[in-house]
Structure 1
Amino acid sequence: MNIKPDCLVCLMNQTLKVSKLLELDDNTSKRLLDNTAQLLTEHDLNHTPPQIAKSIYSMISEVTGKSDPLALAKEQATKLALSVNTDFVQTIQDAIKLAVIGNVIDFGAQNQFDLNAMIQDHFHRSFGIDDLAGFEQELTEAKELVYIGDNVGEHVFDKLLIEMIKKHYPHVEVYYFVRGKPIINDVTIKEAQILSNCAHIIDTGAETPGYDLSEVNMESKAIFERADIVLAKGMGNFESLYLAAERSVYYLFVVKCNVVAQAIGKEIQELIFKRG
């Protein structure tokens, strides 16, 4: 899904947010914003938001000397997710609903939402697009499931969903895909270790905040292409794969910006479980 003018403002705002998170001085903050503006002018509208974000966050790391600029935000998000009492999750449907609500933990989103408030308000809401029945039917015959992770924090709820899937469909091998290096607050192999007891952790080599088929490694691409089911979590994976993947993919995310809302004909804050 190619970038829209709205995305340019969002990416500038992300740079400003990183500057504040790192408590940078004004001169360094301005340098980051100037560099971001320059990078935006160098990319045309044929690029996806994750592709441009890769360039911006690489620049931020170079200027600040921090390989993982959002390490603190990821730690805070993980603590927040682990503090949630998940005793109310009893079924796969419950686990999917919590996993998608967890997608609001997103440093890069245009709109920010409170996790606990979203759980209280959205857990009993219906999906704006609901292809859950087809997903469950495919699980009955599937041998391999690829679960493409998104943000740190929500990966705690990804673990709960995978454990629930394994409980009901023990014949399914699950591969949990992570980014190849720190990018925004996306999950990498470091944070994903908490899922090692329920899934094979796969470093995709992707340096974009989305599973970009043009740059992922051969190992993950082979698994992606052969798996019976692919479940892609979050807007970054949707932006990277929607209309680009030649195979079917289930997209699970919260609509958090106007661009994606318009692309799928839904409203901000709606829960999406879409087979594409």
Structure 2
Amino acid sequence: MKIKYECYPCILRQSIESAEMVSADDQQIKQIIKHFGEILAPALDSDFTAPMLAAEMQKYIKKLNRIEDPYFDLKEKNLIQARKLMPLVEEEIAAAEDSLLAALLMSAMGNSIDAGVSLNVNIKENIDQAIADSFAHSDYSCFKEELQTAENLLIIADNTGEALFDLLLLKELKTYNLKITYAVRQLPILNDITAEKAEELGIGEYAEIIKSGTTAPGMLMEEASAEFLEAYQKADLVISKGQGNLEGLLDIEEDIYFLLKAKCEIIADVLEVGLNDFVFLHR
């Protein structure tokens, strides 16, 4: 999905926030803004996606400040907040008429924890919204039918906080006769999940954790690892979590279920839903 003009201010804001997290001084922030201007013209004249541009800015910030993971503290904060609400979410799934559908909805709800959009997310409000509104678009019936005969499922993961809610989805999916693979980022980027953290959260109990190869906050097939490509080609079902993965895959890949919250007008328009709607879309 080619980057839109409206994405540029958002990525610049995101870059300045990243710099402030690592206590960059005024001179460093000026350098970051200057670098953004330097790469803006090439991006305008190419097939850049938003994750590509964000990755370039994050790479520069890490190099400038000599830090590997600017979002480490935020990710830990997100996990503390999410853990407090896990019992509530577990109760909702257990009480639902269709527990798998409820787990998918709560996994989509977890996608609200997105540092690329906002550093301050009220998870409880998002849980309440998901319970009240459910999916604005859902291809669940198609997914449920395919699930009956599927042997291999690939989940392309997104944010760290939402991985806790993915864990509840994995527990539901594990009741099916499936090999599940959970693909994470190659390196720390924004507040996205890494292999080490996925293992720490217990995801390895329900799925094989692999590194996707991509260093962007979204799946870029040109960066895909051999391990990811093998899992992708073998998969009977693919679930792509979040906006960044959607931006990287929507226009170039087919037969994917996109599970997310539409957190910006551009994504909402592309998916033909409202802003902040929850979506489970098959393309």
Q: TM-score range by the shorter chain?
A: over 0.9
Q: Residue deviations 1:213-263, cap 9 Å, x none?
A: 111111211210221000000001110100211x30000000011111121
Question: 1:92-241 alignment to 2 at 5 Å?
Answer: 92-109=100-117, 113-167=121-175, 169=176, 171-193=177-199, 194=201, 195-241=203-249
Q: Which residue of 2 aligns with 1:26?
A: 26
Q: Which residue of 2 aligns with 1:39?
A: 39
Q: Is the 8 A contact 1:210 1:236 kept in 2?
A: yes
Q: Which residue of 2 aligns with 1:51?
A: 52
Q: Which residue of 1 aligns with 2:268?
A: 261
Identity %: 28
Higher helix share: 2
Q: Is the 8 A contact 1:163 1:198 kept in 2?
A: yes
Q: So what's the TM-score if we normalise by structure 1?
A: 0.95
Relative distance call for 1:249 and 1:149 in structure 2 (3 A) is: same
Distance (Å, rounded) in 2 between the aligned partners of 1:46 and 1:213: 14
Relative distance call for 1:134 and 1:112 in structure 2 (3 A) is: farther
| 3-state SS in 1 of match to 2:209 | strand
How many residue pairs match? The answer is 273
Distance (Å, rounded) in 1 between the aligned partners of 2:189 and 2:246: 16
| 3-state SS in 2 of match to 1:268 | coil
State the superposition RMSD in angstroms.
1.4
User: Which amino acid in 1 is paired with 2:93?
Assistant: V
State yes or no: 1:72 paired with 2:73.
Answer: yes
Q: Give the C-alpha shift of residue 22 in structure 1.
A: 2.3
The unaligned stretches of length 5 or more in structure 1 are none
Q: Which residue of 2 aligns with 1:88?
A: 92
Q: Is the 8 A contact 1:3 1:48 kept in 2?
A: yes
State yes or no: 1:274 paired with 2:275.
Answer: no
State yes or no: 1:3 paired with 2:3.
Answer: yes
User: Which amino acid in 2 is paired with 1:150?
Assistant: D
User: Which amino acid in 2 is paired with 1:33?
Assistant: I
Q: Give the C-alpha shift of residue 36 in structure 1.
A: 2.0
Relative distance call for 1:112 and 1:47 in structure 2 (3 A) is: farther
Distance (Å, rounded) in 1 between the aligned partners of 2:250 and 2:220: 10
| 3-state SS in 1 of match to 2:222 | coil
Distance (Å, rounded) in 1 between the aligned partners of 2:70 and 2:18: 7
Q: Is the 8 A contact 2:106 2:130 kept in 1?
A: no
Distance (Å, rounded) in 2 between the aligned partners of 1:39 and 1:72: 28
User: Which amino acid in 2 is paired with 1:46?
Assistant: D
Q: Residue deviations 1:73-114, cap 9 Å, x none?
A: 111111111111232222111111111011010000269642
Distance (Å, rounded) in 2 between the aligned partners of 1:112 and 1:275: 30
| 3-state SS in 2 of match to 1:43 | helix
